[in-house]
Structure 1
Amino acid sequence: MTILLKSWDAAYDRERKAFTDIGDVGEIWFGEDVQNRMVRWLSERSDLPTSARVMDLGCGNGTMLIGLQEEGFSDLTGVDYSEGAIQLAVDIAKKEEISDINFKVCDILSHKSVSTLIKDGKSRFDLCLDKGTYDAISLRDTLDPSDRRSYAVNVHSLLTDQGQLVITSCNWTKDQLVLHFEKEFELLHELPAPSFTFGGKTGQTVTTLIFKKKALEPS
């Protein structure tokens, strides 16, 4: 975990230097088209009010939240377990003269770290966004078998009773994601994505699903 975190910090330190030197915001996971499609759905097609509390899980350089802020969303939080990512996000927001996005260092797999974000029920979020973070967690070489469970449980705890999770993955199919989250979430929608055909079979490069939080059975 420590070695992996150091590698992310080093990568974001390089991107932060490039941003300082030439204004390059760095890599946007899955590309701008995917990010813009998520922002567009939230601003035009979802029933989410712009006053909703939104959290970006693994926000990286924070550009998705900046896009949402430009669409009128006013209560935005971005978390990443890499301090370098948060520093880069803050730098980019500052250059864009945006001061009302909350960027915080947080390990989404740590119950203790997540608990600091939700001191009581009123501070939970209406929506959590994930663009590649679950992929990074579930496919890394140092994966602990409990990591995917910790992710699902912790994200569930971050959300209000009617809260939603919007997740984009390039490694998991719709059916796999539904199976992974079936205990804590129910599927509401799938966002259309560009498709391709190869060898007579049709597929998509990414899958974006909207889940609704379930009320858990008492243990």
Structure 2
Amino acid sequence: MAAADDKSLPDFDSSELGTKEFWDTTYGKEVENFNDIGDVGEIWFGEETMEKVADWLENCADVHTDDPIIDLGSGNGMMCIELCKRGFTRLTGVDYSELAVMLSKSVASSEGFGNIEFETGDLISEERPNPCTCLTRKYKVVLDKGTYDAISLMPGDSVSARMHYLATVKELMTSDGIFSITSCNWTKDQLLEFFKEHFTLHDEIKFKTIQFGGVTGSTYTSLILKQTYSDTYVLQQT
């Protein structure tokens, strides 16, 4: 794994966005809003970002509609719902907030997508195998749209938390699996540095660029990664 003290992988200052209490409070309010007025709540990183990731999967020849897909940190479930609308049939969302799972189940059911599985689970648990049922299975596609960012903002030892996250992602993937990660905190180079010992870059989803201070860049970084040959070989031999 990437060295925890690697200077190319800085620790961010901790934030309430990295706490379970913040997300429980947020989704508690969104559950109330959904029950009162049918508002599904915020789509993390926005609808355009969600659609770009969905577009990539829909147009990927290596991904089929009956392949198992898991969304890490599924929130209100809208990523899974968007993929279900596009014909994907084996969708799972996992979130460590029970209120988020409650909301996602309600939203999916209201839109006629009760076949999507949502489960409460801890992605950075040290317990192996992970006791969460959906985290004991293998998936062709593992999605992350902001969850790694939130883990990076956790109070305390966020480096250790990120290493546990990496271990979970590896365990979830089939040998030919695809890992899609979208971030607003980490650059392309930083993400590749952290995942380099176990994943290689397969593709990049492009976003609109902005210019500030003479430097051009994107608001989001969205990478498609595949496991390295050595990791794949070990999985196939065990």
TM-score by length of 1: 0.91
Report the alpha carbon displacement of residue 153 of structure 1 after superposing the two structures with TM: 1.1
SS at 1:24's partner residue?
A: coil
1:32-71 map, 5 Å: 32-71=47-86
**Any idea what the Cα deviations from partners look like across 1:56-85, whole Å, max 9, x if unmatched?**
000000001000001000000000000010
Aligned with 2:153 (options 139, 145, 153): 139
User: What are the ranges of 5 or more consecutive residues in structure 1 without an aligned counterpart?
Assistant: none
- Which residue is equivalent to 1:160? 174
Report the alpha carbon displacement of residue 11 of structure 1 after superposing the two structures with TM: 1.3
8 A contact 1:152–1:184 mirrored in 2 = no
8 A contact 2:74–2:93 mirrored in 1 = yes
**Any idea what the Cα deviations from partners look like across 1:74-125, whole Å, max 9, x if unmatched?**
0000000000100000010111011110100010111437354355xxx410
1:22-171 map, 5 Å: 22-112=37-127, 114=130, 116-117=133-134, 119=136, 123-171=137-185
8 A contact 1:50–1:74 mirrored in 2 = yes
Q: Identity across aligned pairs (percent)? A: 43
**Any idea what the Cα deviations from partners look like across 1:128-183, whole Å, max 9, x if unmatched?**
00000000001223344311111111100111111111000001000000001112
Report the alpha carbon displacement of residue 29 of structure 1 after superposing the two structures with TM: 1.1
SS at 1:117's partner residue?
A: helix
8 A contact 2:19–2:154 mirrored in 1 = no
- Which residue is equivalent to 2:191? 177
Report the alpha carbon displacement of residue 207 of structure 1 after superposing the two structures with TM: 0.5
Greater relative contact order (Cα < 8 A, sep 6+): 2
Check if 1:11 corresponds to 2:26: yes
Q: How far apart, in 2, do the equivalents of 1:41 and 1:176 lie?
A: 22
Letter in 2 for 1:108: L
- Which residue is equivalent to 1:195? 209
Letter in 2 for 1:172: W
TM-score by length of 2: 0.84
Report the alpha carbon displacement of residue 194 of structure 1 after superposing the two structures with TM: 0.7
Runs of 4+ residues over 6 Å off in structure 1: none
User: What are the ranges of 5 or more consecutive residues in structure 2 without an aligned counterpart?
Assistant: 1-15
8 A contact 2:75–2:104 mirrored in 1 = yes
8 A contact 1:109–1:147 mirrored in 2 = yes
- Which residue is equivalent to 1:205? 219
SS at 2:159's partner residue?
A: coil
Q: How far apart, in 2, do the equivalents of 1:27 and 1:142 lie?
A: 27
Q: How far apart, in 2, do the equivalents of 1:207 and 1:143 lie?
A: 24
Alignment RMSD (CA, Å): 1.9
